[in-house]
Amino acid sequence: MTKSKIFLWVLVSFIAGIAVRSFIALPYVLAWVFVMVGAIEFAVGVRRIEKKLALGGLFLIAFVAGALRFDVVDHRGPALPSQFGHTSLVRGIVADDPVVSEASQRMKIKVVSLGDYAAEPPFFMIATARRMPAYRIGDELEITGEIERPENFSDFDYVSYLRRDGIGAVMSFPDIRKIGEGKGNPVVLALSRLKHAFEEKIDAALPEPHAGFLKGLLLGERSMLPDNITTDFQIAGVGHIVALSGYNITIVGRSLMDVLLLFTVPFTVSFWVAIAGITLFIAMTGAAASTVRAGIMGVLLLVAEREGRMYRMTNALVFAAAAMIAYNPYLLRFDAGFQLSFLATVGILYLAPRLEYRMGGADGSGFTRKPAGGRIISRIRKTLAETLSAQIMVLPLIISLFGRVSLISPVANILILAAVPYAMAVGFAAGMLGFVWPLASIVVGWGAWALLEYQLRVVAFLARVPFASVAAGAWIVAPLLALYMIVLLRLYKKAKQKG
């Protein structure tokens, strides 16, 4: 086994440890017994030059390390107050941008004191308030209301969803008094102000619902889309385009590279400018944790394209996933966004090249076929292959999470995805121009409006096609996974025979 493969399996073992521990408690005594056994195996294997024994010990240690990492975070928080069920005076700071809907806003509050006593350690809670007055990240608030334990919905594990962010309490429509602002990390506050200023420029350049749709494309802000449009996107199977995913980030990078290459800028220079552009884009969107994770996935996809061999990216992809999961172990089981983004990235890296090859293109994986068709046809073929690959990979999880499958999704994606990068690019330009030349921002906004209007009309039409979306029971997930395993084994055998 090569060093590269050893490193890969150490990472996989670490992730497996976190996964198992998220379902099953592992007593500390037993964990340290496993560590000792692994250490002995490794030492004996190295001494006797028995590679399999040494590797077995190393992988066992990595597995236990993953389980212990989950334990550390699980025991550390969230701290839960003793005032559950009682009306309390809470002083806290808005820790993230509120999620705003038509009638309310939902805020993540870092509680620093309860009544006359400091909260040690500080804990987080969700406060749902009326939409107005509006609050922002960094606002210091005095909140009076009943602190409650979060409860699961009939079809959603809300407790675990909150726990991934260290949240263990909720408060509904309390009395709120703003007593300060600008509290917290100055960098985060500056990025948030930049994001809100950018949103205001988009609002000035475009009418609704187009402005809300553009903010979904660029910023992942779906809360301002009307409910009927959100439902249409779900039925048509294109809800992913208004969630800031690794694929959306890749679109930003590719578009920037295409523009630079059009002006004969060298490929290497274009690549690094695109990476810098992605970094700036993440900063413009507020650099939220989910956006940073999407950025990492997007950069990996661009690097894979640059290297020309998608299959060489396995270690980088697994390392990125392991690093993110090590930082927040709850992501692996409780964050559907992370799960969907990772699986979609896997599909784009490994399945899309084969599909693109079957469609007459070069897949970047060692095949030498010359792509059929011109540049535009090649880009459409690539987009279609990547979209289908991502959807194939996330299908079992989509069924498990939502219990529905969009049958019209492939058609919807083919019709609108080609317009997405142009809508993002023109919309981004309109927003940026708003800072320096408002009139030009409005003019460019007309172009963005046309692209966004096309997509909204296509989605609205397809969402009303009979049987566009059908219910799918959870029972179908197991045979679907079995089918995937059979296909993977066949591909593995073919690769082994070739190599």
Instruction: Write out the DSSP string of 8-34.
Output: HHHHHHHHHHHHHHHHS---HHHHHHH
Please give the mean pLDDT across all residues of the chain. 81
What mean pLDDT do residues 247-267 have? 78
- Hey, which residues does 173 pair with through a beta bridge? none
The torsion angles phi and psi of 219, rounded to 5 degrees, stand at -120, -5
Least confident range of 42-51, 322-331, 407-416: 42-51
Return the DSSP state at 148.
B
- Contact indicator for 430, 206 with CB cutoff of 8 Å: yes
Burial of 479 (0-12, 13-18, 19+ CB in 10 A): exposed
pLDDT at res. 362: 58
pLDDT band at 486, cuts 50/70/90?
confident
pLDDT at res. 75: 59
pLDDT band at 449, cuts 50/70/90?
very high
Distance CA(329)–CA(303), nearest Å, equals: 26
pLDDT band at 155, cuts 50/70/90?
low
pLDDT band at 63, cuts 50/70/90?
very high
**Predicted TM-score of the model (pTM):** 0.79
Instruction: Write out the DSSP string of 51-111.
Output: HHHHHHHHHHHHHHHHHHHHHHHHHH-----TTTTSEEEEEEEE-S--EE-SSEEEEEEEE
Q: Please, what's the b/e burial string for 314-333 (b: 16 or more CB within 10 A of its CB; e: otherwise)?
A: bebbbebbbebbbebbbbbb
Q: Is the pLDDT of residue 77 over 90?
A: no
- Domain 87-184 annotated CATH 2.40.30: no
Domain residue spans of the chain: 3-75, 87-184, 200-498
In tens, the pLDDT along 169-216 reads 889 899 999 998 888 778 888 888 888 888 899 999 999 899 989 988
